[in-house]
A and B are shown apart, each in its own frame.
Chain A
Amino acid sequence: MGAADLPWATSAEIAHAVGAGEQSALGVVDAALSRIAKLNPTLNAFTAVTAERARAKARAVDGSRDKSALPLAGVPFAVKNLFDIQGLPTVAGSKINRARPKADRDSPLIEKLEAAGAVLVGALNMGEYAYDFTGENVHDGPSRNPHDITRMTGGSSGGSGGAVGGGLVPLALGSDTNGSIRVPSSLCGIFGLKPTYGRLSRARSFPFVASLDHLGPFARSTLDLALSYDVMQGADADDAGCAQRGHEFATPELTRGLDGLRIAVAGGYFKKGAFPEALAALERVAKAAGARDEVEIPEAARARAAAYVITTTEGAALHLDRLRRQARDFDPAVRDRLIAGAMVPATLVDKAQIFRRWYRERVLDLFKTCDAIVAPATPCTAPKIGQQTFTLDGVELPVRPNMGIYTQPISFIGLPVVAVPVPLSPLPIAVQIIAAPWREDVALRIAHALEQMDAVAAPRPNL
Chain B
Amino acid sequence: MADPLDEFIVAAAAALQLPLEPDWQAAVKANLAVTLQHANFVAGFALPDEAEPAPIYKA
The interface of chain A, by Cβ under 8 A from chain B, is 211, 299, 301-302, 305-306, 308-309, 312, 320, 323-324, 327-328, 332-333, 335-337, 339-344, 347-358, 360, 401
* Contact mask for chain B residues 24-48; partner A; CB cutoff 8 A; 1 contact, 0 none: 1001110110111011111101010
> Closest residue of chain A to B15, judged by CB?
A343
CB pair A332 B39 closer than 8 Å: no
Chain B residue at minimal CB-CB distance from A323 = B18
B19 at the binding interface (Cβ < 8 Å): yes
Known contacts A350-B53, A356-B53, A356-B54, A339 near B38 by CB under 8 Å: no
Contact present for B24 and A339 (CB under 8 Å):
yes
Residues of the B chain whose Cβ atoms lie less than 8 Å from the Cβ of A343: 8-9, 12-13, 16, 28, 32
* A305 in contact with B41 (CB, 8 Å): yes
By a CB distance below 8 angstroms, the chain A residues around B19 are: 323-324, 327-328
Complex CA–CA separation, A356 to B54 (angstroms): 6
Residues of B within 8 A of A323 (CB): 18-19
- Name B1-20 residues within 8 Å CB distance of A: 8-9, 12-13, 16-20
**In the complex, are the beta carbons of A324 and B53 less than 8 A apart?**
no
A302 touches B42 (CB 8 A): yes
Q: Are B43 and A336 in contact (CB under 8 A)?
A: no
Interface size on B, residues (CB 8 A): 31
A399 to chain B, nearest CB (A): 14
Q: Which chain B residues lie closer than 8 Å to A352 at the CB level?
A: 39, 42
Q: Which 7 A-B pairs have the closest CB atoms?
A: A353-B53, A340-B31, A305-B38, A348-B39, A336-B27, A356-B54, A340-B32
B36-A344 in contact (CB<8A): yes
Binding site for A on B (CB under 8 A): 8-9, 12-13, 16-20, 24, 27-29, 31-32, 34-36, 38-43, 45, 47, 51-55
Indicate whether A309 sits within 8 Å of B38 (C-beta atoms), given known contacts A353-B55, A354-B53: yes
Name 19 extra pairs, CB < 8 A, besides A336-B24, A343-B12, A343-B32: A299-B45, A301-B41, A302-B41, A312-B31, A312-B35, A323-B19, A336-B28, A339-B20, A339-B24, A340-B28, A341-B31, A342-B18, A348-B40, A349-B39, A354-B47, A354-B52, A356-B54, A357-B51, A357-B52
7 intermolecular pairs with C-beta atoms under 8 Å apart: A309-B35, A309-B39, A312-B31, A339-B31, A340-B35, A343-B32, A348-B42
B8 contact set on A, CB distance < 8 A: 343
